[in-house]
A and B are shown apart, each in its own frame.
Chain A
């Protein structure tokens, strides 16, 4: 299909506004954790190795009874995202 030039131009101008974000950053994903993992809350993530975070998240996905709400949350992230998030968390002091 051949689109008229003005329409093509407007599509090109419009698309970036909607599609310019390619997934959340590792930092943004990690920042969501602190609502529960922090002072007086669930286990602190600071000092965890990336491999530990990845293994915990996998276990949460597998064990809903053990993981409770965390198993729901773990399912909101892909394996690749968990890997990226874990690498970022491992850099936190």
Chain B
């Protein structure tokens, strides 16, 4: 038996142990519905099964293949590809007895605990998990809307827009400028605009060395800032410029972005728009004035609708909006719901956020934080703030190369933890 076959066999054996109990208790088994199959939703489904062998777990996700945003900056410049970032739910379904409904959730009745699907069918739930991520604020930047985004793709969802933006970058004329606009926080994956700027600089340094990268940033500071700036100075001297100032207007025809300081014209303008929780969350009344969903971080249950738990980017949990935080929150929520279903006390959450950013193929930097919950019910760094830190500043190129290898391992393990 090959290693792969053995693993498949173990997966099937596990499924056969789990499935009969699900079937046998179908009438009384708790019904868990998960909307959204990203890092949050997929991880939740898997860990919910680990927390409850009898629950029926239904994942509402219209796509059969997930394309990871983590790694998509690498795909943008040819260091990876969308196919290498694509994963199916097949193993989750086979190994953990999870049912996928290939449809979109249209509405939620939080009183009668029902999800209405685009197919017209509806699903009853005892606990609903919303992991629907972000939506763009199309009204935030004048000139950037659902029509002009076809010309100025954000590529903030990995997929066809990644390919489209890659073609635009490839076509930058000699000495042209790649402009990337960064929205005010919070937005999905805080270090990612700076990683993208770095990798575009790497790509241009190979093919178009007189080209420039300009970051127009709504934020005064950003994560891993000193490490990024050190890297830009080392790897791309004179090539990357960052100007603080929120972009208020863009012109798709002339490739111009405007801030209070004036207009900036580029060969490419990559608009990363301001963000909020997805429309389903808003329409269900799960969001507050911030545009995100307030939750009790002990269980990730909504503060506005009982029985609905919000994990991942859509939640205003105090966690960073990252894939690993979504995964960590999903595990914490699954553990809490398992305890609630079993009539046990809920224990404190613990969530690790780990994030690597690649500045060049063999140069990466990282940040990690271990989060818990304080006595007032807020997410805080554990051990009195000791459990957080970044890669050291001033480390050797050999160290950054080791971290680039760590980054590759991190991605592979994250995918394995989420999808198998």
Residues of A within 8 A of B (CB): 18-25, 27-29, 31-32, 34-42, 64-65, 68-69, 71-73, 75-78
Closest-CB distance, A18 to chain B (whole angstroms): 5
Instruction: Say yes or no: A75 contacts B387, CB within 8 Å.
Output: yes
Q: By the criterion CB–CB under 8 Å, are B417 and A35 in contact?
A: yes
Q: Given contacts A31-B335, A69-B406, is CB(A19)–CB(B412) below 8 Å?
A: no
B386 within 8 A of partner (CB): yes
Please give 14 more A-B residue pairs, beta carbons under 8 A apart, in addition to A25-B347, A31-B47, A71-B389.
Answer: A18-B376, A21-B298, A21-B346, A24-B348, A31-B335, A32-B328, A34-B413, A35-B410, A35-B414, A36-B354, A40-B416, A69-B403, A72-B389, A75-B383
Chain A contacts for B373, CB-based, 8 A: 21
Type the 1/0 row for B31-57, where 1 means its CB is closer than 8 Å to any CB of A: 000000000000000010000000000
Across-interface contacts of B199 in A (CB, < 8 A): none
A18 touches B347 (CB 8 A): no
Q: Is B193 on the interface with A (CB-CB < 8 A)?
A: no
User: Are B368's CB and A73's CB within 8 A?
Assistant: yes
Q: Distance (Å) between the CB of B350 and the closest chain A CB?
A: 4
How near does chain A come to B30, taking the closest CB pair, in angstroms? 19
Nearest B residue to A34 via CB reads B417
**Option from B47, B328, B354 in Cβ contact (under 8 Å) with A69:** B354
Q: How many whole Å from B404's CB to the nearest CB in chain A? A: 12
Q: Does B294 interact with chain A (Cβ within 8 Å)?
A: no
Question: Which chain B residues border A71 with CB–CB below 8 Å?
Answer: 389
Interface residues of B (CB under 8 A from A): 47, 298, 324, 327-328, 331-332, 335, 345-352, 354, 366-370, 372-373, 375-377, 381-383, 386-392, 399, 402-403, 406, 409-410, 412-417, 420
Please, how many angstroms separate the alpha-carbon atoms of A40 and B413 in the complex?
6
User: Closest CB-CB distance, A47 to chain B, in whole Å?
Assistant: 15
Q: How far is the CB of B335 from chain A (nearest CB, A)?
A: 5
> Hey, which chain B residues are within 8 Å of A25, CB to CB?
335, 347
Q: Chain A's nearest CB lies how many Å from the CB of B55? A: 17
Task: Report whether A35 and B346 are in contact in the complex, using a CB–CB cutoff of 8 Å.
Answer: no
A34 CB contacts on chain B under 8 angstroms: 413, 417
Bound together, the chains give a CA A21 to CA B373 distance in angstroms of 9
Give the docked Cα–Cα distance between A78 and B370 (Å).
12
Instruction: Determine whether the beta carbon of A73 is less than 8 Å from that of B335.
Output: no
- Across the interface, A39 reaches (CB within 8 A) one of B328, B345, B416, namely B416
CA distance A76 to B392 in the complex (A): 18
Please pick, from A19, A28, A65, A76, the residue contacting B347 in the complex, using a CB distance under 8 A: A28
- Name the residue of chain A whose CB is nearest to the CB of B395: A65
Complex: how many Å from CA A76 to CA B379?
Answer: 13
Bound: A71/B348 CA distance, A: 22
Q: Are B414 and A24 in contact (CB under 8 A)?
A: no
> Out of B331, B349, B354, B375, which one reaches A18, CB within 8 Å?
B375
CA distance in complex: A69, B370 (Å): 11
How long is the Cα–Cα vector from A83 to B331 in the complex, in angstroms? 21
A and B contact pairs by CB, cutoff 8 A, 23 listed: A18-B377, A21-B346, A21-B348, A23-B348, A24-B347, A24-B349, A24-B350, A25-B335, A27-B335, A28-B332, A34-B413, A35-B324, A35-B327, A36-B409, A37-B413, A38-B416, A41-B412, A68-B391, A73-B354, A73-B370, A75-B387, A77-B370, A77-B387
Q: Give Cα A70–Cα B4 distance, bound, in whole angstroms.
A: 29
Supposing A25-B347, A69-B406 touch, asked if A19 and B375 sit within 8 A by C-beta, the answer is yes
A92 CA to B363 CA, complexed, in Å:
35
Contacting pair A35 B413 (CB below 8 A): yes
Q: Is the CB of B347 within 8 A of A69?
A: no
CB contacts (< 8 Å) of A18 on chain B: these are 375-377
Would you give the shortest CB distance from B298 to chain A, in whole angstroms?
Answer: 6
Give the Cβ gap from B348 to chain A, nearest Cβ, in Å: 4
CA distance A61 to B381 in the complex (A): 16
Contact B346–A20 (Cβ < 8 Å): yes
Nearest chain B CB to A44's CB is how many angstroms away? 10
A68 lies within 8 A of B331 (CB): no
Contact present for B350 and A28 (CB under 8 Å): yes
- Distance A28 CA – B334 CA, assembled complex (angstroms): 10
